[in-house]
Amino acid sequence: MHNARYKRIHKAGLPPGSLIFTGERKLEHPQLTLTIYNAAQYQPITNATLEQCLVQPTETTTTWIHVSGLHNVDLIARLTQHFNIHPLVTEDILNTHQRPKAEEYDNYLFLSLQALGWDTQTKNFNTEQISIIFGKGFLLSFQEQATPLFAKIQEQLARGQTRLRENNSDYLAYTLIDIIVDQYFLILEDLGGTIEVVEDKIIANIDQNAARDLYRIKQQMYQFRKVIWPLREVVNHLLRSDGKLVTHTTGIYLRDVYDHTIQIMDTIELFHDRLDNMLDVHLSSLTNRMNEIMKVLTIIATLFIPLTFISSIYGMNFHYMPELAWHWGYPAVLLVMLIMAIIMLMYFRRKKWL
């Protein structure tokens, strides 16, 4: 995952606008879905051919062409040329490691987004680039895999007289963004759950490798942040371009998405601070633990080393050691040792070590 960020290098040196697909081929064949709809009609063609898709958008309907699978560079180039899309945009669609962004062109808006999924195998995020181009009467969307992310929209369209059918391509674009952002909340909940598990372990002081766990979670949060921060700018860009391509009605809904991105960012920042503070708790309990260990050692050593010294004195073999011959010498020494031990224990108790 981590080296996905700086993959652009494979085309370093080529002139700008060179069309090269930089992701992994995740689908055998690209799938095109052509949907032409308005409040009255709805004609979805799944597995459409390229030729079917090269339609002219009309004033009264919305033409939505969705492409799953990006490795057929030629197909995508012909499709975008048909809609007069700038070569740099086509390049950005194919280069799947984009930072989320919105770019305004004369007749259309280009959005590059990152959908997030959770890969249960690598225990990490799974990003998929979603590119959206929309203008008056048409919307092109591109994704790497055939994930069922957008199937819900087809359902909504099919169901009939919803707000979606009545509005234009800008509302469709909003709906796509809304679905992607909704997905983020699910990831956020997962992350929150993971954090609580680690938190419980740290509070109970049973996780020796807490620092490593916290590190892993933080790295995931950085990846999340990398996606969500620019997204806010994207939505803000759309909000500000109010009037031309984005209608006032859609603008109100976009404001809602904007609030959601802010809410996600707030939560991520909160998680981040929380992880930092958890690390402090962990480090402090490591030191506490060492204090505990050292205290045991010190008590034992301080108690027995002087006593052993005394008994070693009377273990010496000097010929003239008068105490050795005393009748009460042995019990006297034992008594002395006992008194010393008691004094030591009282000292420890006063120091609050016992």
Subset of residues 219 to 248 that bind its own copies, contact rule: CB under 8 A:
219, 222, 226
Scan residues 63-102 and list those touching its own copies (CB under 8 A). 86, 88, 99, 101
Q: Which of 25, 244, 289, 349 binds its own copies (CB under 8 A)?
A: 289
Q: Which of 20, 197, 313, 335 binds its own copies (CB under 8 A)?
A: 313
Q: Which of 273, 335, 343, 346 binds its own copies (CB under 8 A)?
A: 273
Contact 339, 303 (CB under 8 A): no
β-bridge pairing 124-135 and 42-48? unpaired
Scan residues 126-165 and list those touching its own copies (CB under 8 A). 152, 156, 162-164
Quote the tokens at residue 254.
């976009």
Scan residues 164-203 and list those touching its own copies (CB under 8 A). 164, 175, 178-179, 182-183, 185-186, 188-189, 192-193, 196, 203
| Residue whose CB is less far from its own copies, 72 or 147 | 147
Give whole-number Cα distances, 329 to 257, 314, 324, in Å: 90, 10, 6
Scan residues 315-334 and list those touching its own copies (CB under 8 A). 315-321, 323-327, 329-330, 333-334
Regarding 211 and contact with its own copies (CB under 8 A), the answer is: yes
Q: Which of 28, 121, 305, 350 binds its own copies (CB under 8 A)?
A: 305
Q: Which of 22, 38, 78, 103 binds its own copies (CB under 8 A)?
A: 103
CA proximity to 37, closest of 211, 145, 172, 129: 172
Least gap, CB of 298 to its own copies (angstroms): 4
Please tell me the count of residues contacting its own copies according to CB under 8 A. 109
DSSP assigned state of 246:
B
Regarding 123 and contact with its own copies (CB under 8 A), the answer is: no
CA proximity to 1, closest of 150, 268, 222: 222
| Residue whose CB is less far from its own copies, 20 or 186 | 186
Identity at 326, one-letter amino acid code: W
Convert 3-19 into a string of H (helix), E (strand) and C (coil). HHHHHHHHHCCCCCCCC
Angle of CA points 193, 217, 97, to nearest 5°: 115
Please state the length of the chain: 354
Regarding 302 and contact with its own copies (CB under 8 A), the answer is: yes
Question: CA 86, CA 112: separation in Å to the nearest integer?
Answer: 14
CA proximity to 244, closest of 39, 56, 106: 106
Q: Which of 20, 252, 336, 342 binds its own copies (CB under 8 A)?
A: 252
- What 3-state class would DSSP assign to 243? coil
| Residue whose CB is less far from its own copies, 84 or 291 | 291
- What 3-state class would DSSP assign to 67? strand
Q: Which of 1, 5, 84, 354 binds its own copies (CB under 8 A)?
A: 5
Question: CA 342, CA 354: separation in Å to the nearest integer?
Answer: 13
CA proximity to 44, closest of 206, 158, 185, 169: 158
| Residue whose CB is less far from its own copies, 40 or 347 | 347
| Residue whose CB is less far from its own copies, 131 or 285 | 285
Least gap, CB of 223 to its own copies (angstroms): 8
